[in-house]
Structure 1
């Protein structure tokens, strides 16, 4: 109801010039008839009939405008998800503005579609690359493990870093859909820490870094 009164006030304010013009014209007729000594009752009667007709037109017109207002509100709320389709306007200026807005909306939607497609293609490409590169990395690790030497140990450490970079790429690609990969529950902190230490044990041993894990179970 509040929205209806607000729309009515706005529509009335927008047509106040027409209302004042009608009142002024009626006053001019009444004054001229009075100055010439002509009976003014017909003027008052005609003014009353005209006012009733104009009131009916006002109500019908406002009803149409209010429906368009509600439709535009719905479009405004859904503008992010749908192509803009405005109501038909009789006013040529409003019609031109509506056409421009619809065209801009269509261009925006098309640009978003192309951008999403391009991003999806890039994500698919990098995902495929990240998974495929794991095969030669695993093969290189097996070859290095067959011949233990200081040089191979250094190469294995660099290979481990490459694996981490590949994993970073995969994590970045998954970041847009991370909500679907989340599982909120209680985890064993000790198990997580021990798994991390085991994963990086080669680096710790090579650098002679001592790791002390307290009671975290």
Structure 2
């Protein structure tokens, strides 16, 4: 429906009484002239003049109504703050629309005030949790020093594995806080992908040993433009997930195909109905609910990070057979960022 047609329907609905009055008045005039035996040419002239005057009044009134209607529609449909100056029409003598303007101005003020309060509240949360994450690093470091003095190798290994989990959860919280300003934190350079992968495997070597999971790492070479810290975070999330859901005696394989890094495990696998939602914030899936350790944030943050870096991530899985995670690195130059 055209804008004019939509306005016309609204106009006729609002002016139905006026339209009926116009028809009734025309009929009364015609009846009076007919009963008064006025000459036909004079009667026709009077009726024509009546219709012309009413037509001019209609055109003027409809034009004014159309502008007002479109103006209020635009105000209604605007997202965020309403700009009452845009497409403003001269309604200074219309008390109703003056009141509308006053209401909108008040709503704008309240909206701006609430937005500012929300920004301040969010900033306070970010500052608090940033401080908490940085403060918690001190006792973590102290624990690492204390564990070096534990004489029993088996106990020391288990405690170090649990300490690594604490560090990972802490890092997850910190990266979530930083995600809003990730672009400002990026340090894009050309890196050898195999070196970043090997560094993460070295970091989680203790978990491989403790969980008795075999590693098969194919030799590969690929230079990628990325941020080493953020890509390492993504690799860490994928490796910890693979280790968490792979039973002792299982295997994790890593290889490169074209420009896609593939990390495959022989773990529990994922239900088909869970796969489309795995990168959704807070979604843990059936495996996460069983393990009772999943936060539903790891893959969500990984997807966000990969998207910001200009990379891609997806996965394939079959329940009971394992999962394959694919990290794709399109060929790019630094000028493209």
**TM-score, normalization by structure 2:** 0.50
Q: Say whether 1:121 aligns with 2:121.
A: no
Residues 69 and 180 (structure 1), Cα distance of their counterparts in 2 relative to 1, 3 Å cut: farther
> In 2, distance between residues paired with 1:51 and 1:109?
51
Residues 168 and 85 (structure 1), Cα distance of their counterparts in 2 relative to 1, 3 Å cut: same
> In 1, distance between residues paired with 2:43 and 2:123?
74
- Count of residue pairs the alignment pairs up: 214
Q: Say whether 1:134 aligns with 2:143.
A: no
Query: Which structure's CA Rg is the greater one?
Result: 1
The residue aligned with 1:81 is: 80
Task: Say which SS state the counterpart of residue 214 (structure 2) adopts.
Answer: coil
Task: Say which SS state the counterpart of residue 215 (structure 2) adopts.
Answer: coil
- Post-superposition shift, 1:67? 2.5
| Matching of residues 93-132 of structure 1 within 5 Å | 106-132=109-135
> In 2, distance between residues paired with 1:179 and 1:14?
53
Q: Say whether 1:71 aligns with 2:74.
A: no
The residue aligned with 2:34 is: 34
- Post-superposition shift, 1:191? 3.9
| Matching of residues 129-168 of structure 1 within 5 Å | 129-145=132-148, 147-150=149-152, 151-168=155-172
> In 2, distance between residues paired with 1:11 and 1:163?
67
Residues 50 and 98 (structure 1), Cα distance of their counterparts in 2 relative to 1, 3 Å cut: farther
Larger proportion of helix: 1
The residue aligned with 2:197 is: 193
Larger proportion of strand: 2
Q: CA offsets per residue over residues 135-170 of structure 1, 9 Å max, x none?
A: 33234323433x252344443333222111111212
Contact 2:133 2:173 in 1 (8 A): yes
Contact 1:83 1:106 in 2 (8 A): no
- Post-superposition shift, 1:82? 0.8
| Matching of residues 5-44 of structure 1 within 5 Å | 5-39=5-39, 42-44=42-44
| Structure 2 residues not aligned, in runs of 5+ | 220-254, 257-337
Residues 114 and 198 (structure 1), Cα distance of their counterparts in 2 relative to 1, 3 Å cut: same
- Post-superposition shift, 1:38? 4.3
- Post-superposition shift, 1:122? 0.7
> In 1, distance between residues paired with 2:189 and 2:42?
85
Contact 1:127 1:173 in 2 (8 A): yes
| Structure 1 residues not aligned, in runs of 5+ | none
Task: Say which SS state the counterpart of residue 217 (structure 2) adopts.
Answer: coil
> In 2, distance between residues paired with 1:186 and 1:91?
66
- Post-superposition shift, 1:28? 1.5
- Post-superposition shift, 1:13? 4.9
